[in-house]
């Protein structure tokens, strides 16, 4: 593997019972970059993070983090990474400062160094005032910040963040984004998972889209948007028969199929030329489509476009 | 080793931060002792003063109540997010569990001293030499360590803190169905075989013999064998269960 990669995974497979959660996953994350693994619930994001953070073993395939094999060199990998999961890894009964000092002691920092590091992190995460309060009194956003601070005590090279902003309100989410941007600027490698396209767009240098345990796309935010189209053209058909015909013509490109409202949705950039061309293509005889609407693409559209199948879905 | 110390300090701190649990652990044995001595004691005829007879039994009960809470704290750790953080920081599972057990031991020393102090207040007069007194404490604390590991194994095998709380009732049953509160010969015939051959009886009899300056006979050897056996099996089961849960 290359020295330039902080994370390199090749052919990762993981099943739980009969369910194949990861199906031959390959990842390459350059050192010092921010990488977002984007996908809906159940796509395999958490499983990927757990394997890379040495908490779970892959059934097949290999992965290296910070230059070491995640299965054979667990202790070495663990000294160089940190993991912040979806559930706060904190003791509710200890104060913020006590939690950080405990992490320092576990990271083998001497007592005074652990105390200094705790004070530093409380300051950095705007928690100095709350440092002497028990975590049980913290708000969701404060808890998440302290959790992230706790993961940084030992100055890891690679930071895994599993859905860092899920469940946070908008102001807390924005604070979290500032914090992650700050980390990225300090030169560490950040690997985060998210369900939010906006989050990946704002934070990540590279985005990989995971669906059903497979990578369905990878690239910069701009590249993905170009592929996906930022808007959706919804075609309302005149009858069920017309709807079926239009859906057939759009084929794999259809990201939205709703028989009840007789609509078919396809990605578009919203330009007159493209909309005209799409209308002509879907309805060359000009008798199947009654009306159309151009709307902003949702995350569903992105996934559906990238997975290439317009399946009925209730994802949020 | 240093991680185990950090984990011990953590467990102790968390214990002091949940005052209701701490009060239960400290007051329940004292209250039970008072109940046994003053409410049931009058009805028990065993030839000696009942308070002297029952205090070793209360010490045993106190030990299992204190040790059983290890099941709950271990289970809470395993079901919360913090276990992943500890593992990703390379803290060995044995250090995490040993921290819980060490904290349980220290908590138990405090509650044992409290029970002994109250026992003296209500008329307990052991005639033990300091050496015998110390030997009784050593046996009791060895028992606490073994039962704490058993509780840790229990906490790793169940999936919720509520279920882990069941450890206390299970362990308390063993204390009641033993010679801790009444002589085995007064139990119904079908319970005597069980009561005489489970760990609570030889441990109680050893502590009682040492404190009351009576011969302990074979009880000491049997008590130590039970403690060693329980300890070995519980540590092995804990390590196995920890690996399986974190695979």
| A312 in any annotated domain | no
Q: How confident is the model at residue B12 (pLDDT cuts 50, 70, 90)?
A: very high
Q: Nearest residue on chain B to A150, judged by CA atoms? A: B85
Nearest alpha-carbon partner for A47 in A71, A88, A15, A87: A15
Nearest alpha-carbon partner for B155 in B140, B137, B167: B167
- Shared-domain flag, residues A122 and A193: yes
Least confident of B48-57, B63-72, B89-98: B48-57
In chain B, % of residues over pLDDT 70: 100
Q: How confident is the model at residue A39 (pLDDT cuts 50, 70, 90)?
A: confident
Q: How confident is the model at residue A307 (pLDDT cuts 50, 70, 90)?
A: low
Element (H, E) at A170: helix A170-185
Least confident of A130-139, B145-154, B213-222: B213-222
| A244 in any annotated domain | yes
Average pLDDT across chain B, whole number: 90
Rg (CA), chain A: 23
Measure the CA–CA gap between A294 and A270, rounded to whole angstroms. 7
- Shared-domain flag, residues A45 and A63: yes
Looking at residue A102, its pLDDT comes to 96
Nearest alpha-carbon partner for B85 in A281, A149, A59: A149
Least confident of B23-32, B58-67, B228-237: B23-32
Q: Do B88 and A87 touch (CB under 8 A)?
A: no
Measure the CA–CA gap between B209 and B239, rounded to whole angstroms. 35
Domain boundary among A187, A207, A226: A226
Q: Which 135-194 residues of chain A touch chain B by CB within 8 A?
A: 150-151, 154
| A75 in any annotated domain | yes
Domain boundary among A175, A192, A226: A226
Q: Do A55 and B246 touch (CB under 8 A)?
A: yes
Looking at residue A314, its pLDDT comes to 34
- Shared-domain flag, residues A220 and A260: no
Q: Nearest residue on chain A to B9, judged by CA atoms? A: A102
Q: Looking at per-residue confidence, does A91 or A220 come out higher?
A: A91
The domain segmentation of chain B, as residue ranges, is 2-245
Looking at residue A150, its pLDDT comes to 93
- Shared-domain flag, residues A165 and A38: yes
| A315 in any annotated domain | no
Question: CATH number, domain at A183?
Answer: 3.40.50.300
Q: Which 29-88 residues of chain A touch chain B by CB within 8 A?
A: 50, 53-57, 74-75, 78-79, 81-83, 85-88
Looking at residue A310, its pLDDT comes to 44
Three-state SS string over B54-83 comes to HHHHHHHHHHHHHHHHHHHHHHHHHHCCHH
| A313 in any annotated domain | no
| A158 in any annotated domain | yes
Looking at residue A299, its pLDDT comes to 57
Q: Nearest residue on chain B to A161, judged by CA atoms? A: B85
* Assembly ipTM: 0.87
Hey, is A198 helix, strand or coil?
A: helix
Q: Nearest residue on chain B to A79, judged by CA atoms? A: B89
Q: How confident is the model at residue A298 (pLDDT cuts 50, 70, 90)?
A: low
Measure the CA–CA gap between B53 and B47, rounded to whole angstroms. 10
Residue A159 has pLDDT above 50, yes or no: yes
Contacts of B87 in chain A (CB under 8 A): 54-55, 78
Q: Are strands A231-237 and A289-296 parallel, antiparallel or unpaired?
A: antiparallel
Q: Nearest residue on chain B to A56, judged by CA atoms? A: B247
Query: Average pLDDT of A188-208?
Result: 89
Question: What confidence tens digit (pLDDT) does each residue in A7-32 have?
Answer: 999 999 999 988 899 999 999 999 99
**Residues in a beta bridge with A60:** A13
- Shared-domain flag, residues A127 and A145: yes
Per-residue burial over B194-206, b if 16 or more Cβ lie within 10 Å, else e, is: ebeebbbbbbbbb
Q: Do B84 and A150 touch (CB under 8 A)?
A: no
| A188 in any annotated domain | yes
Question: CATH number, domain at A244?
Answer: 3.30.70
**Any chain A CB within 8 A of the CB of B13?**
yes
Question: What confidence tens digit (pLDDT) does each residue in A264-292 have?
Answer: 988 888 889 999 999 999 999 999 999 99
Query: Average pLDDT of B198-226?
Result: 91
Looking at residue B127, its pLDDT comes to 82
Hey, is A265 helix, strand or coil?
A: strand
In chain B, % of residues over pLDDT 90: 53
In chain A, % of residues over pLDDT 70: 92
Query: Average pLDDT of A300-315?
Result: 55
- Shared-domain flag, residues A163 and A205: yes
Measure the CA–CA gap between B219 and A31, rounded to whole angstroms. 65
**Number of domains chain A is built from:** 2
Question: What confidence tens digit (pLDDT) does each residue in B111-170 have?
Answer: 999 999 999 998 888 888 999 999 999 999 999 999 999 999 999 999 898 899 888 888
DSSP letter for each residue of chain B: -HHHHHHHHHHHHHHHH-HHHHHHHHHHHHHHHHIIIIIIGGG---SS-HHHHHHHHHHHHHHHHHHHHHHHHHHHHHHSTHHHHHHHTT--HHHHHHHHHHHHHHHHHHHHHHHHHHHHHTT------HHHHHHHHHHHHHHHHHHHHHHHHHHHHSSSHHHHHHHHHHHHHHHHTTTTTS-GGGS-HHHHHHHHTSTHHHHHHHHHHHHHT---TTHHHHHHHHHHHHHHHHHHHHHHHHHHHT-
Q: How confident is the model at residue A301 (pLDDT cuts 50, 70, 90)?
A: low
- Shared-domain flag, residues A216 and A298: no
Of B18, B88, B246, Cβ closest to residue A78: B88
Residue A316 has pLDDT above 50, yes or no: no
Residue A313 has pLDDT above 60, yes or no: no
- Shared-domain flag, residues A128 and A15: yes
Average pLDDT across chain A, whole number: 88
- Shared-domain flag, residues A159 and A82: yes
Looking at residue A93, its pLDDT comes to 92
- Shared-domain flag, residues A221 and A244: no
Nearest alpha-carbon partner for B7 in B94, B137, B129: B94
Residue A297 has pLDDT above 90, yes or no: no
Question: What confidence tens digit (pLDDT) does each residue in A74-105 have?
Answer: 999 999 999 998 888 999 999 999 999 999 99
Nearest alpha-carbon partner for B87 in B79, B98, B96, B99: B96
- Shared-domain flag, residues A288 and A163: no
Contacts of A154 in chain B (CB under 8 A): 89
Domain boundary among A180, A208, A226: A226
Domain of residue A194, residue span: 5-226
Looking at residue A269, its pLDDT comes to 82
- Shared-domain flag, residues A128 and A52: yes
Looking at residue A315, its pLDDT comes to 34
Of A57, A85, A154, Cβ closest to residue B84: A85
């Amino acid at each position: 593997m290359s020295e330039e990669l902080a994370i390199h995974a090749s052919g990762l497979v993981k099943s739980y019972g009969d369910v194949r959660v990861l199906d031959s996953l390959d990842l390459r994350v350059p050192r010092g970059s921010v990488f977002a693994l984007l996908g809906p619930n159940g796509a395999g994001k958490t499983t990927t993070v757990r394997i890379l953070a040495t908490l779970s073993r892959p059934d097949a395939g290999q992965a290296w983090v910070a230059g070491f094999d995640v299965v054979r060199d667990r202790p070495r990998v663990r000294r160089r990474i940190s993991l912040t999961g979806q559930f706060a890894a904190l003791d509710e009964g200890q104060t913020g400062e006590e939690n950080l000092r405990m992490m320092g002691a576990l990271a083998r920092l001497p007592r005074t160094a652990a105390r200094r590091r705790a004070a530093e992190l409380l300051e950095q995460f705007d928690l100095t005032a709350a440092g002497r309060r028990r975590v049980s009194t913290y708000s969701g956003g404060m808890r998440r910040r302290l959790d992230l601070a706790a993961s940084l005590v030992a100055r890891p090279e690679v930071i895994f963040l599993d859905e860092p902003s899920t469940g946070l309100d908008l102001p807390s989410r924005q604070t979290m984004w500032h914090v992650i941007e700050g980390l990225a600027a300090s030169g560490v490698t950040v690997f985060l998972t998210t369900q939010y396209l906006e989050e990946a767009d704002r934070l990540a240098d590279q985005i990989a889209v995971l669906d059903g345990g497979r990578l369905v796309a990878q690239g910069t935010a701009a590249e993905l948007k170009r592929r996906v189209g930022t808007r959706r053209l919804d075609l309302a058909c005149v009858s069920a028969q017309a709807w079926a015909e239009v859906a057939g013509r759009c084929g794999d490109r259809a990201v939205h199929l709703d028989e009840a409202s007789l609509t078919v949705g396809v990605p578009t950039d919203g330009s007159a030329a493209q909309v005209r061309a799409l209308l002509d293509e879907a309805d060359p005889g000009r008798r199947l489509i009654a009306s159309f609407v151009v709307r902003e693409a949702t995350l569903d559209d992105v996934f559906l476009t990238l997975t290439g199948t317009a399946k009925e879905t209730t994802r949020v | 080793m240093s991680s185990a110390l950090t984990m011990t300090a953590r467990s102790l701190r968390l214990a002091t931060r949940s005052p209701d649990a701490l009060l239960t652990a400290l007051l329940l044995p004292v209250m039970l002792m008072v109940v046994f001595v003053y409410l049931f004691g009058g009805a028990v005829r065993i030839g000696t003063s009942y308070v002297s007879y029952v205090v070793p039994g209360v010490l045993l009960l106190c030990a299992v109540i204190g040790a059983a809470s290890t099941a709950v704290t271990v289970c809470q750790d395993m079901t919360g997010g913090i276990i992943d953080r500890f593992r990703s920081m390379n803290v060995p599972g044995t250090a995490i569990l040993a921290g819980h057990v060490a904290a349980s031991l220290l908590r138990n020393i405090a509650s044992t001293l409290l029970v002994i102090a109250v026992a003296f207040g209500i008329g307990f007069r052991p005639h033990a030499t300091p050496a015998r007194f110390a030997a009784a404490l050593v046996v009791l604390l060895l028992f606490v360590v073994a039962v704490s590991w058993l509780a840790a194994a229990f906490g790793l095998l169940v999936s919720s803190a509520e279920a882990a709380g069941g450890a206390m009732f299970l362990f308390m049953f063993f204390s009641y169905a033993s010679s801790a509160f009444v002589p085995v010969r007064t139990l119904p015939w079908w319970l005597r075989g069980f009561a005489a051959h489970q760990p609570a009886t030889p441990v109680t009899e050893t502590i009682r013999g040492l404190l009351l300056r009576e011969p302990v006979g074979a009880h000491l050897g049997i008590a130590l064998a039970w403690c060693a056996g329980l300890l070995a099996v519980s540590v092995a089961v804990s390590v196995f269960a920890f690996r399986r849960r974190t695979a």
